[in-house]
Chains A and B, each alone.
Chain A
Amino acid sequence: MDTISQQVERAAAAIQAHGHPRPRVGIILGTGLSDFAHEIESLLELPYDEIPGFVAPTAPTHRGLLILGRIAGVPIVAMAGRCHGYEGHSAAQIAFPVRVLCELGVKTMIISNACGGMNPDYRVGDLMLVEDQINFTFASPLVGMIDESTGPHFTDMSAPFDRELLDRAAAIARREDFVAHRGVYVGVLGPNYETRAEYRMFRRLGTDAVGMSTVHEVIAARQCGLCVLALSVVTNECRPEALSGAKSSEVEHVATTAAPKVRAIIRGIVAGL
């Protein structure tokens, strides 16, 4: 069996064979952002099934395309669609594309997602800039990667989210006049939404928003030494004392409605690089 580095190299080679310039920024487009391709110039779309080691997503609104192109002149690579633990994928599989993006030359990762806002200050449609994370998925993409060919096995997580990018994202939100909180994201396996008792637990643990993605990608990105910015769209408010049922159609609707805010930040960050 191939080592992870060999698998990464093979996937990167398959992408590079199309002859696009080396991307500097990698972007993961979460729920509701699948139309982001319109922002990207001179694009090339590669279905995941043409890239060895990539798996096609089954989650709603996740397309399963790798998009190469430019934003504000900066070469980027964007993932339209990701895979999740609740689809039955391992943490290592979820994190694999991040390693490939790093191999392609990416130095900065911008990761977006849809989340449930538990902090009572958060409103549906607000953005949260992820200031820190708690991995509550009971899995890590680094398990077993003892050969360290992709980075340190004991990856430092003292500050996984780049402070300068956080400040710049907050500045863009102020300039564009929309709310962007800074908060702690807790990543869970899913696929069910949380019970009231679980929301209370997560508040006590010090988290502001909960979602079913991102944490494994962040861990792998840090192992690869990438700068990371993560953006969460608050698609539903999780108030344990007055919880109304969450509907995934509403989540997708809100995520789509709030997408321009995420786009503004991505565009602003990339343009400033």
Chain B
Amino acid sequence: MLHLYDQIEAAAAAIRGQWPGGKPRVGIILGTGIGPLAEKIEVEASIDYAAIPHFLKPTATGHKGRLVCGKLNGASVMAMEGRFHAYEGYPLDAITLPVRVMKALGCELLIVTNACGGMNPNFACGDIMVIDDHINLMGSNPLVGINDDRLGPRFPDMARPYDPELIDRAQAIARREDFPAHKGVFVAVQGPNLETRAEYRFLRLIGADAVGMSTVPEVLVAVHAGLRILGLSIVTDVCFPDALKPVDVAEIIATANEAEPKLRKIILGILADFAT
């Protein structure tokens, strides 16, 4: 991890150069199909990842590869339109570098979103899940390596990675807006294949409500960096092992796009508290 410090500095400097006077309080990672939220930002700077040193090039479907900086509901934010995944073949420390850059630029909160497969039988397609906790089943960890104590502790605690107060706030917003937002456990796998029926049964057995191929690496790094975290998933397909249908990626993206307004309401509601 000792190589990261200089990379963070270089990336942060490039962003500061393009966004003079930018003082973000919230970093947002927009997952699959959730990109449209970026259009609501009063843009002060829009930076291609290619112009930021050490940022990767997203290859995943529906991920643009642009950092959008500006005001969203009064709060100063930097939003990643497009994220990186382990299944793209990228190492986890590079995937999670943007989170460290958010911290370096002054962010206090990370809002991380994704599209997930719902395994809890109470979940329906298009529902929101507010992440209460996670299981890392990716087989790897972005914090492996010699620890850089300037960035965070050697053995970060994971008793409460997701901010309980923000979970409550998110659910209150969903109630007020009259749509379901379940609280649940997200399990992260490497992918890229979708799970077998036997794997879905196994993931339920170990206590997970939803499964996805992202988010956990960014959250581990955000905890390491001392950020508050809100994790929001859109249930884009339901994975009931005894009535499993083949997955259609176009359908997943369409479902995410349809559910995006719900997610937006939660995010805008939360951001109101971070207005500057």
Q: Which residues in A have some Cβ–Cβ distance to B below 8 Å?
A: 58-60, 85-88, 138, 189-198, 200-201, 204-205, 243-248, 251
Contacts and interface: CB of A to CB of B under 8 A. Distances in A.
A138 B156 CA distance: 20
Interface of B: 133-136, 139-141, 143-147, 153-161, 185, 187, 205-208, 220, 223-224
Contact of A86 (B144, B161, B205, B223): B144
19 contacts: A58-B146, A87-B146, A138-B140, A189-B139, A189-B141, A189-B144, A190-B144, A191-B141, A192-B155, A192-B156, A193-B159, A195-B135, A196-B160, A197-B135, A200-B206, A201-B135, A204-B206, A243-B160, A245-B157
A190 B146 contact: no
Given A197-B135, A248-B153, A191 B143 contact: yes
A63 to B, nearest CB: 16
Contact of A196 (B145, B159, B223): B159
**Chain B interface main SS type:** loop
A39 to B, nearest CB: 28
A88 B135 contact: no
Contacts of B187: 197
Contacts of A251: 155
Given A86-B141, A138-B139, A192-B220, A197 B208 contact: yes
Contacts of A60: 154
Given A196-B159, A200-B207, A204-B205, A88 B146 contact: yes
Contacts of B139: 138, 189
Nearest to A86: B144
A194 B158 contact: yes
A193 B185 contact: no
A118 to B, nearest CB: 13
Given A198-B135, A198-B136, A204-B207, A193 B156 contact: yes
B223 A191 contact: no
Contacts of B157: 192-193, 245-247
